[in-house]
Amino acid sequence: MYRQLGYFKVPKLGCDCINDTDKLIEIDLLKCGILLILLCHLVFFLNFSLVDAYPSLHWAYFGPTCAYVGLSMFIFASGYTLANRYKRLETEKDIAQYFKKRITRIYPIWWIGLLLEFIVFGIFNINPNPYTENFYSVPGLLYQFIGVHGFFKADMDIGGSYIEWFVGTILLYYIIYAIIAKFAKDDIEVLCVSLGIYIICYMYHILHPNFYLYYPIFLIGIFAGRYSLLNITNPYFSKIPSSIQGIIHFIGQASFATYVIHQPLLSVGLCSKI
């Protein structure tokens, strides 16, 4: 049931006791990295006025660092959860159920966020408006609707802001994991398939640059999830008071929705101050 990993005992791969990441407070904590992304974009929407007010804080560097750390936490949690729940996708039914769940979790929220962005930036033109005119063209709206803006590097010309690339990239990660879970049977094969896909994509430079930036984080999350390494820390984090755990769980569960809608909400909230 368990194997030794340094000073710790962790469940063996495939053990029945290592599933159900919904019960891990660590997953929700990682998804709370969305708050760091909001901090980064808040600085941008304030037009970097904080840089002048507090130059010693180096906000111009602090903001992007917050975004990278926050997105890395979220992407690691995604890789971990996928590998922990879907170690193998052996049949067409398994694959269909996998994609059905991914699609139903992403697209309804994404479409609501897209509608809100169109109302705020397209109809009312509330500033700061991070979008270009091409964003509201027919091709631009179509790309946004199916969530592939930033899916390919050339699509960046359609126009958009700081969040659209993420949806296309996370969809790519989901597709790649389905390939891994279908064809890779052990750790070596997982690594070979993952690196093979990465190298092919990198050779042709067809994907958004952030795909390559966060792919290693996603892969690390996959390996951590295959062995449920967060179970090591769970005895400690589970001691967090239940009231605080409830707040963390709420933020974690709402993290993707918060990410999708935060830009128009920031614009509406700050438009009178900028």
Any idea which of 2-11, 171-180, 218-227, 256-265 has the lowest mean pLDDT? 2-11
Would you tell me the crossing angle of helices 164-183 and 209-226 to the nearest 10 degrees? 40
Query: Using CA atoms, how far apart are residues 214 and 230, in angstroms rounded to an integer?
Result: 20
Predicted pLDDT at 204: 77
Residue-wise pLDDT tens digits, 101-129: 999 999 999 999 888 887 887 777 776 55
CA-based nearest residue to 252, from 24, 20, 19: 24
Predicted pLDDT at 21: 61
pLDDT confidence of 2, banded at 50, 70, 90? Answer: very low
CA-based nearest residue to 13, from 230, 186, 231: 186
Residue-wise pLDDT tens digits, 78-94: 999 999 999 899 899 99
Predicted pLDDT at 218: 97
Query: Using CA atoms, how far apart are residues 165 and 135, in angstroms rounded to an integer?
Result: 13
Phi then psi for residue 108, to 5 deg, are: -60, -45
